Chains A and B, each alone.
Chain A
Amino acid sequence: MGNIIQLAWLVPLFPLIGFLINGLGRRSLSKGAISFIGSGAILASFIVSIMIVLQVKSPGFTASQGVLKMFDFISVDKLIIPFAFQIDQLSSLFLLIITGVGFLIHVYSTSYMHDEESEHFGRYFAYLNLFVFSMLLLVMGGNFVIMFIGWEGVGLCSYLLIGFWFKNSDYNDAAKKAFVMNRIGDFGFLLAVFWIIAKVGSVDFSTVFAAAQSLSKTDITIITLLLFVGAAGKSAQIPLYTWLPDAMAGPTPVSALIHAATMVTAGIYMIARSNILYSLAPITQTVVAVTGLVTAVFAATIALQQNDIKKVLAYSTVSQLGYMFLGLGVGAYTGAVFHVMTHAFFKALLFLGAGSVIHAMHSEQDIRNMGGLKKQMPVTHITFLLGCLAIAGVPPFSGFFSKDEILAGAFSVNPVYYYIGVAGALMTAFYMFRLYAMTFTGTFRGTHEQEHHLHESPVAITFPLIVLAVLAAIAGFAGLPEVFVENGHALEHFLAPIFAESAKLKHANHLDHTTEITLMVSVTVLILITIIYAWIRFSRYRKTEADTKGLARVLENKWYVDEIYNAAIVRPLNAFSGLLNRVVEKVLIDGLVNGVGKSIQYGSRQLRLLQSGQVGSYILLMVLSILAFFALVFFTKK
């Protein structure tokens, strides 16, 4: 089928065109046309992506074929940064996830957003296409700079879409918070890129990774730590995670696409892409693993006590991202990428399911006011249940395999990681089934008005749910553990070239099969017990007016992290800037600037007097000047 990789630039081009058409034509195009263009662009990219993956999978493919240089983007002295794409196993897999899930969410949005005015409908799809474009740029970039363009682009789109309903100032605050938090991370990323330029003199992935071995330990540790700051910002890790739950202010499909399936996994992608750097920096690896683990458990505890259906999912996303970082930190790169993939499916599914519920409940998001929805919404119910089973890690659904691989990797490095990780996994099972049970089982607790209008969502909403549910159920079979099937891990074989260098550095520390199976079975049993407990307990849930107490109250208030940040960082910063404003700005700077301005005006008024209008005085002045010049030339010593 020819060399489709040469046409890889088409993949980001389609969404860009879609963005331009929908963005410019949002006032004149009909909703049908906007939906068609918006979704069609992503579908076209998806089709090209499939062909690319097939090409990459074919035996003749080598890494050098995948580098696609378009033109020189920046060329200063010795530093040449080409606008280049890099297509390989890792990026093509992400292409598939982004365009595939992206397409489904576009389709879903055509129905979900249908009540918006036509202009805003167009704006929504334009932003969404721009997001996909940026995300594709991030993933396809052949060097850190192109990646950074995409990196900033997705941050911008995230900001625009969180604040999509810009008339609500809370939503705008959430958007700003996301932007600022992301910028903190981006700053780390930028510093890392500068450091790389200073030490390596190039930002091309291939050059940098080839030079990694020769970099000093300090350099590589600093670079990887700075990159990790960037990753922590984008992928919502402690301490930069607080924006993600607030990001739920955006439309639900946005939460599904950007804040669950794709953008937030950018940090994982970046570290997986730079895996060789991390494998050479054991200190950073420990930092990554511990941060991931702490985030995973910490976010899970918060999720236990949330009552907003989207907030539960948001904290669960933070928690799952923590697992992915744990995987990266312990060198289980394939496991992390695997979990990105399965998570994309089931978390998108869960968010879209939640959207379907919210849609049916007329924007009600509090699960205390739901219950018993399974009768009215059978498709949403079944697909949501599948999603819950997948994320909880029940075999044979996808989450089980990917999470197991990460945990197994953690066990081989440090069993303590493993036990804490399992505790988090049990919490995951608990809060997910609390969510499920409170929403779909028991009796309806909402108003009569809501009950009257309850209905299953239209096909444009249920179709993506079904597709994602199927994927969430079966995607795990792409990576069967060795204990079950010899050579069953198709994904590992596919990604092997990416992680080959790191694999060489890694000490062969495989678990023996008996231990692995024992661990697997015992965890599964624990998870099943937790699920049954949560299910039984919360299907009998009754609304109470009583406030929560003790630890539950702390959890409900998210460990008061926002308040702590506010008191420890935001307020001192505001006070300090107020001080600067009053003293430095008003007195010193303004005084200086205005003083210069005034003295120039004064000088102008005086100099003007030279221009007397008298030819005689002009000529006199000129003659004097000529004499002065003569004196200068003849009577001064050299």
Chain B
Amino acid sequence: MNAIILSAIWGVAMMFSGIFLTKGEAIRAAAILGLVVLLGVNIAELYGYRLFNIDTRGMLSFNSFSLVFNAVLFGCTLIYFLLSSKDILKVGTNKAEYFSLIFFVLSGVSIASSFNTLLMLFLGIEIISIPLYILTGSDRKNLKSNEAALKYFLMGSFSTGIMVMGIALIYGARGSFDIAGMNTAMQQGLNPLLLSGLLLLLISMAFKVSAAPFHFWTPDVYDGAPTVFTSFMATIVKAGVFVAFLRLFDGAYGSMSDKWKLVVVIIIAATLLIGNITAVFQQSVKRMLAYSSIAQAGFMFFALFSYNDLSKEGLLLYSAAYCLATTGIFAILIKMKDYTFDGFNGMGKSNPLLAATNTIFLLSLAGIPLTAGFTAKFYMLSSAIKTGTYGWLVILAVLCAAVSVYYYFRVIQSMYFKEGDSQRIEVSSSFRLGLVVISAIIILLGIFPQILFYKLYF
């Protein structure tokens, strides 16, 4: 509760601060301060300190999982701010508003991680989506950015329509928006109305996390949006929607029939294949990362497939690992002029620290041991193995991870084994420190993943 209200308030405050604060530095400081406060109050709630006591009539509820998840995402956003907030300021003239929109997104994420009724789910997802349409088109003079925003908006509305349709059908079948009790309703026999509603809901959520075959918007939007915002969308937003998805499954699809499982399996297999294989041929690192985000979503989708305690821990770890590494890579990418693989040529010599940390991020994404990415993949796959079904899916996932090594290592190869005229990139020492800190966290989580789960059960 703390986080929802404070992030909304801070978003509004940031919006008005544009009138008083003209200097970019001041806006940046205000945003970072706000985020630190947000992270603080969220952790405080984890320890039982509630600032607000509002009766939501059971529409929202907060458990340790949603709070820990919020904390992880806020932490990632903080790191994202520390690394890239200067670049946010460079996107356009409405400096304060960009931050304001990001805070609104965070507010939506907090709702999405704690909803109890489908209404709140819809509200949360829309609060996340609408600011993103704006952020995608925030580079107003750039045609690509405009095009991406329009595409995103069109397809986003399409999926919103499907979601509303699904919710309406479910309401028609049950007369209630509550997700609690949906399990029992499902067991009482196959009501076609309810079944259609649930399927539509599943599809619209799959769209939001860019799972195949509903991923088409992702490469175009990620490629067209200003790179700083791509970074945000691809990481924190995606993880935020996933937690909503998991919560939805908690109530609605908990006792999945084999058919549901088959649907999920098809989505996972398609996502893994399309994401990984299409990424192979990309020439732009930014576009490669867009496909990589689809591929990684395939792995995160395993949490919904296996659906047990291990997979919840896995999703938490996966979100942290994926967000940190991707944020780091994007932060470096933003500083570069040339987004193609060749742009990284010779970086190992010209910018040794950037290249070294970038290597760690890429290794983590590829799932090489001693990095958080490996442990996260391990959790996901072992949770899937525990279900004892669809063994071939796990094998497919491992093979796809092997394919992913190809395109991630292409960047490493460019940095270290190709001669290039890449110029020395001037970055501040705090930026370097940020990269080193992320690398350290990635390796720490790779060795001691339990530290993330500490507050989950106690």
**A interface residues, Cβ below 8 angstroms from B:** 597, 600-601, 603-605, 607-608, 610-611, 613, 615, 618-619, 621-622, 625-626, 629-630, 632-634, 636, 638
Q: Cα distance A605–B274 when bound, in Å? A: 11
A621–B213 touching, CB < 8 Å: yes
For B213, what are the chain A residues with a Cβ–Cβ distance below 8 Å?
Answer: 621-622, 625
Query: Contacts A611-B219, A629-B199, A630-B196; is A622 near B214 (CB within 8 Å)?
Result: yes
For A636, what are the chain B residues with a Cβ–Cβ distance below 8 Å?
Answer: 259
Which residues of B (214-237) have their CB < 8 Å from a CB of A? 214, 216-217, 219-220
Q: Cα distance A618–B210 when bound, in Å? A: 13
- Chosen A-B contacts, 27 in total, with CB atoms closer than 8 Å, are A600-B280, A600-B403, A601-B280, A603-B277, A604-B280, A605-B281, A607-B274, A607-B278, A611-B219, A611-B220, A613-B220, A615-B151, A615-B154, A615-B155, A619-B154, A619-B158, A622-B155, A622-B158, A622-B207, A622-B214, A625-B213, A626-B200, A626-B203, A629-B199, A629-B266, A633-B195, A633-B199
**Nearest 10 interchain pairs by C-beta:** A604-B281, A618-B216, A604-B280, A625-B213, A607-B278, A603-B277, A604-B277, A615-B154, A615-B151, A605-B281
B203–A629 touching, CB < 8 Å: yes
- Dominant secondary structure of chain B at its interface with chain A: helix
Q: Cα distance A632–B281 when bound, in Å? A: 32
Known contacts A613-B220, A636-B259; 7 additional CB pairs below 8 A are: A600-B406, A603-B277, A605-B281, A607-B277, A621-B216, A632-B262, A633-B263
For B277, what are the chain A residues with a Cβ–Cβ distance below 8 Å?
Answer: 600, 603-604, 607
B259–A638 touching, CB < 8 Å: yes
Chain B residue nearest in CB terms to A611? B219
B219 to chain A, nearest CB (A): 6
Over the window 190-208 of chain B, the binary record of Cβ atoms lying under 8 Å from chain A Cβ atoms (1 yes, 0 no) is: 0010011001100100010
For A610, what are the chain B residues with a Cβ–Cβ distance below 8 Å?
Answer: 216, 274
Q: Cα distance A636–B263 when bound, in Å? A: 12
Answer yes or no: B426 CB below 8 A from chain A CBs: no
For A604, what are the chain B residues with a Cβ–Cβ distance below 8 Å?
Answer: 277-281
Name, among B217, B220, B263, B278, the residue most crowded by chain A CB atoms within 10 Å (CB to CB): B278
The size of the chain B interface, using a CB distance under 8 A, is: 32
For A603, what are the chain B residues with a Cβ–Cβ distance below 8 Å?
Answer: 277
Over the window 142-169 of chain B, the binary record of Cβ atoms lying under 8 Å from chain A Cβ atoms (1 yes, 0 no) is: 0000000001001100100010000000
A638–B192 touching, CB < 8 Å: no
For B274, what are the chain A residues with a Cβ–Cβ distance below 8 Å?
Answer: 607, 610
For B195, what are the chain A residues with a Cβ–Cβ distance below 8 Å?
Answer: 633-634
A632–B263 touching, CB < 8 Å: yes
Chain B residue nearest in CB terms to A637? B259
Chain A residue nearest in CB terms to B270? A625
B395 to chain A, nearest CB (A): 14
B100 to chain A, nearest CB (A): 28
Q: Cα distance A636–B257 when bound, in Å? A: 13
B278–A611 touching, CB < 8 Å: yes
Which one of B158, B199, B214, B262 contacts A630 once the chains associate, using CB atoms below 8 Å? Answer: B199
Answer yes or no: B258 CB below 8 A from chain A CBs: yes
For B262, what are the chain A residues with a Cβ–Cβ distance below 8 Å?
Answer: 632
B5 to chain A, nearest CB (A): 36
Over the window 5-29 of chain B, the binary record of Cβ atoms lying under 8 Å from chain A Cβ atoms (1 yes, 0 no) is: 0000000000000000000000000
For A632, what are the chain B residues with a Cβ–Cβ distance below 8 Å?
Answer: 259, 262-263, 266
Q: Cα distance A621–B158 when bound, in Å? A: 13
Q: Cα distance A625–B277 when bound, in Å? A: 20
For B257, what are the chain A residues with a Cβ–Cβ distance below 8 Å?
Answer: 638
Chain B residue nearest in CB terms to A626? B203
B338 to chain A, nearest CB (A): 21
Q: Cα distance A629–B403 when bound, in Å? A: 28
A622–B216 touching, CB < 8 Å: yes
Q: Cα distance A629–B216 when bound, in Å? A: 17
Q: Cα distance A625–B199 when bound, in Å? A: 12
For A597, what are the chain B residues with a Cβ–Cβ distance below 8 Å?
Answer: 406
For B281, what are the chain A residues with a Cβ–Cβ distance below 8 Å?
Answer: 601, 604-605, 608
Chain B residue nearest in CB terms to A618? B216
A619–B155 touching, CB < 8 Å: yes
Name, among A601, A605, A619, A633, the residue most crowded by chain B CB atoms within 10 Å (CB to CB): A633
A637 to chain B, nearest CB (A): 10
For B258, what are the chain A residues with a Cβ–Cβ distance below 8 Å?
Answer: 638
Over the window 280-293 of chain B, the binary record of Cβ atoms lying under 8 Å from chain A Cβ atoms (1 yes, 0 no) is: 11000000000000
Q: Cα distance A400–B353 when bound, in Å? A: 64
Q: Cα distance A608–B195 when bound, in Å? A: 33
For A626, what are the chain B residues with a Cβ–Cβ distance below 8 Å?
Answer: 162, 200, 203
Q: Cα distance A618–B214 when bound, in Å? A: 8
For B220, what are the chain A residues with a Cβ–Cβ distance below 8 Å?
Answer: 611, 613
B168 to chain A, nearest CB (A): 16
For A615, what are the chain B residues with a Cβ–Cβ distance below 8 Å?
Answer: 151, 154-155
B155–A618 touching, CB < 8 Å: yes
A201 to chain B, nearest CB (A): 24
Chain A residue nearest in CB terms to B407? A604
Q: Cα distance A626–B200 when bound, in Å? A: 8
A39 to chain B, nearest CB (A): 37
A514 to chain B, nearest CB (A): 68
Query: Contacts A600-B403, A629-B263; is A618 near B217 (CB within 8 Å)?
Result: yes
Over the window 162-181 of chain B, the binary record of Cβ atoms lying under 8 Å from chain A Cβ atoms (1 yes, 0 no) is: 10000000000000000000
